[in-house]
């Protein structure tokens, strides 16, 4: 496996990084691909692809079961990956790292294990108005099923959370704050640490949706002091179908299992079954072994470059892109928070987002058009859809220039 040759002092060598991502080197509709849909899913470096290929060619076997060599190797790599995740987010113990299929499953795990088993009718779950559907719908389902109350922290027209309203909503009835660290629809960074401390002060627990944040900002779950943190592999240069739920050990220990099956038990008999210890209690069935190993490779890749270096580079690129985009006539950026990262959602007077998206694709520019799984955000801004360009550290100024040129061309055709 090759190591990324980037000096942390010298900042980011984008050309070198781009060479690590084979998918970027192609033409779409006769134009060089400009991939600006990282908010939906990121591309994978060769380092990740190679690790998965190596696993299937050399070590493939089930984990935690076999006495034979391959099973032991697979188990070592799988459990090694858990340590990699632990260090990446600075969890206290590897027992606090639960592998799931992604952010959506991680949030559902908290909903169905933690909330369902310990909340009563009238207990309140607080979310913000800019959540992804996966951090809205599980709570709505529990509203119907066990009578919890969902409360929503409003936002202003820049897409910033109204902090005073948040404080007003907090009470001893608040049992859980479930909040995004970085909005996928707007790019807003929430004042997480402050919110966590305020929620704890009324005795509430805090679940952070880190799906967008994980690839763009340093995450230290002990410094944040969050109770749960959820993210997906595929948004941080790793495979689809794998994700993480971090939870504080005492909470996870007290929670009942969420799925029943193999690997999550110690003893099964018809007179009673004894559950396994953490983290296995929450990992029923054969996990996505290659995905987990690939995730560790993705996190290693990011660590090698340094998330601080990435954040700084992306911040500069976002400012460059924002200035260039605002120069386009009739373009309005949706989401202009003071604290922002990696995302530019916009609409253009007289232009349908879906028409724009199609014309951009015909020029090789991949962006996302739609509600971005955040329909309440669209409703708030009075639009049915936006066009969203979302950045990763392999994007460069040439990508932004190509986007702007393609938008200008599309607009001249559509108007
Ligand atoms: C993508 C995303 C999710 C859902 O992630 P999945 O990988 O689809 O489970 C949740 N929240 C935010 C903010 C996201 O960007």
Report the chain (415 residues): mean pLDDT per 10 consecutive residues: 48 95 98 98 98 98 91 97 98 98 98 97 98 98 98 98 98 98 98 98 98 98 98 98 98 96 90 92 97 98 97 98 97 97 96 96 97 95 96 98 98 91
281 found inside a domain: yes
**Nearest CA owner, ligand 1 atom 5:** 103
Angle, helices 289-305 vs 69-89, to 10°: value is 40
Q: Report whether residue 184 contacts ligand 1, using a CB cutoff of 6 Å.
A: yes
How high is the pLDDT of residue 214? 98
Closest to 130 (Cα-Cα) out of 36, 209, 227, 234: 209
**Nearest CA owner, ligand 1 atom 3:** 211
Q: Which residues contact 365 (CB under 8 A, 6 or more apart)?
A: 31, 34, 36, 402, 403, 406
How high is the pLDDT of residue 1? 42
Q: Which segments of 255-306 does DSSP mark as H helices, in order?
A: 289-305
The total of structural domains in the chain comes to 2
1 found inside a domain: no
Query: pLDDT per residue over 271-328, tens digit each?
Result: 989 999 999 999 999 999 999 999 999 999 999 999 999 999 999 999 999 999 999 9
Q: Report whether residue 238 contacts ligand 1, using a CB cutoff of 6 Å.
A: no
Q: Closest ligand 1 atom to the C-alpha of 104?
A: 9
Q: Cα–Cα distances in Å, from 123 out to 118, 257, 297?
A: 10, 22, 40
Last residue of a domain, one of 257, 279, 303: 303
How high is the pLDDT of residue 103? 98
User: How, if at all, do strands 205-209 and 243-247 pair?
Assistant: unpaired
**Nearest CA owner, ligand 1 atom 12:** 211
Query: pLDDT per residue over 2-42, tens digit each?
Result: 444 444 446 899 999 999 999 999 999 999 999 999 999 99
Q: Report whether residue 212 contacts ligand 1, using a CB cutoff of 6 Å.
A: yes
How high is the pLDDT of residue 5? 45
What torsion, rounded to 10 degrees, do the Cα atoms 257, 259, 264, 269 define?
A: 90
Residues 339 and 254 in one domain: no
Q: Report whether residue 209 contacts ligand 1, using a CB cutoff of 6 Å.
A: yes
List 128's β-bridge partners, or say none.
153
Residue 64 region by backbone torsions, left for phi larger than 0, else alpha for psi between -120 and 50, else beta: left
Domain that holds residue 388: 6-43+306-414
Residues 381 and 275 in one domain: no
> What's the maximum distance between 2 C-alpha atoms anywhere in the chain?
73
Count of other CB atoms within 10 angstroms of residue 127:
22
123 found inside a domain: yes
404 found inside a domain: yes
pTM beyond cutoff 0.75: yes
Q: Which segments of 35-101 does DSSP mark as H helices, in order?
A: 46-54, 69-89
Catalytic amino acids? 373
CATH for 114: 3.40.640.10
Residues 66 and 199 in one domain: yes
How high is the pLDDT of residue 3? 45
Q: How far apart are CA 8 and CA 44, in angstroms?
A: 21
253 found inside a domain: yes
Last residue of a domain, one of 249, 277, 303: 303
Q: Closest ligand 1 atom to the C-alpha of 105?
A: 9
* Cβ(17)–Cβ(212) below 8 Å: no
Q: Six-digit token pair at 412?
A: 């001249």
Residues 264 and 387 in one domain: no
CATH for 10: 3.90.1150.10
204 found inside a domain: yes
Last residue of a domain, one of 272, 303, 334: 303
Residues 114 and 181 in one domain: yes
Q: DSSP string spanning 172-235? A: TTEEEEEEESB-TTT-BBP-HHHHHHHHHHTT-EEEEE-TTGGGTS---HHHHT-SEEEEEGGG
Name the one residue in this structure whose structure tokens are 């987002």: 353
How high is the pLDDT of residue 10? 64
CA 59 to ligand 1 centroid distance, Å: 30
Residues 246 and 342 in one domain: no
Q: Report whether residue 181 contacts ligand 1, using a CB cutoff of 6 Å.
A: no
For 254, the 3-state DSSP assignment is helix
Closest to 211 (Cα-Cα) out of 131, 304, 289, 284: 131
Count of other CB atoms within 10 angstroms of residue 274:
9
**Nearest CA owner, ligand 1 atom 1:** 211
323 found inside a domain: yes
Residues 11 and 160 in one domain: no
CA 273 to ligand 1 centroid distance, Å: 34
Residues 337 and 366 in one domain: yes
Residues 163 and 178 in one domain: yes
Count of other CB atoms within 10 angstroms of residue 99:
24
29 found inside a domain: yes
Residues 299 and 311 in one domain: no
How high is the pLDDT of residue 263? 87
Residues 95 and 26 in one domain: no
How high is the pLDDT of residue 144? 97
Name the one residue in this structure whose structure tokens are 């995905």: 291
């Amino acid at each position: 496996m090759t190591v990324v040759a980037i000096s942390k002092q010298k900042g980011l060598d984008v050309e070198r990084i781009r060479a690590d991502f084979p998918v970027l080197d192609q033409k779409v509709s006769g134009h060089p691909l400009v991939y600006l849909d990282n908010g939906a899913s990121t591309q994978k470096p060769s380092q990740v692809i190679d690790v998965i290929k190596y696993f299937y060619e050399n070590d493939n076997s089930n984990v935690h079961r076999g006495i034979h060599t391959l099973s032991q190797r697979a188990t070592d790599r799988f459990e090694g990956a858990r340590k990699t995740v632990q260090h990446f987010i600075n969890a206290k113990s590897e027992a606090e790292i639960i592998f799931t299929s992604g952010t959506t499953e991680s949030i559902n795990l908290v909903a169905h294990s933690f909330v369902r088993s310990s909340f009563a009718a009238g207990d309140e779950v607080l979310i913000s108005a800019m959540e992804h559907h996966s951090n809205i719908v599980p709570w709505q389902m529990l509203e119907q099923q066990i009578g919890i109350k969902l409360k929503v922290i409003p936002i202003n027209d820049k897409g910033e959370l109204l902090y005073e309203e948040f404080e007003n909503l907090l009470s001893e009835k608040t049992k859980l704050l479930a909040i995004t660290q970085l909005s996928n629809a707007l790019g807003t960074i929430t004042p997480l640490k402050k919110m966590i401390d305020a929620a704890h002060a009324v005795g509430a627990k805090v679940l952070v949706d880190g799906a967008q944040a994980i690839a763009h900002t340093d995450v230290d779950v002990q410094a944040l002091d969050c109770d749960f943190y959820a993210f997906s592999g595929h948004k941080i240069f790793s495979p689809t179908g794998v994700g993480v739920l971090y939870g504080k050990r005492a909470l996870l220990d007290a929670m009942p299992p969420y799925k029943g099956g193999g690997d999550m038990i110690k003893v099964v008999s018809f007179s009673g079954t004894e559950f396994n210890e953490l983290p296995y209690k929450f990992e029923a069935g054969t996990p996505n072994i290659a995905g987990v190993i690939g995730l560790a490779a993705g996190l290693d890749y990011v660590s090698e470059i340094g998330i601080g270096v990435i954040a700084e580079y992306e911040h500069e690129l976002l400012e460059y892109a924002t200035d260039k985009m605002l120069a386009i006539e009739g373009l309005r950026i949706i989401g202009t928070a003071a604290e922002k990262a990696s995302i530019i959602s916009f609409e253009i007077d007289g232009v349908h987002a879906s028409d724009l998206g199609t014309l951009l694709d015909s020029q090789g520019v991949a962006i996302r058009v739609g509600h971005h799984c955040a329909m309440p955000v669209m409703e708030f801004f009075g639009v049915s859809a936006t066009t969203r360009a979302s950045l990763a550290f392999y994007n460069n100024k040439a990508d932004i220039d190509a986007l702007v040129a393609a938008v200008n061309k599309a607009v001249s055709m559509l108007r």
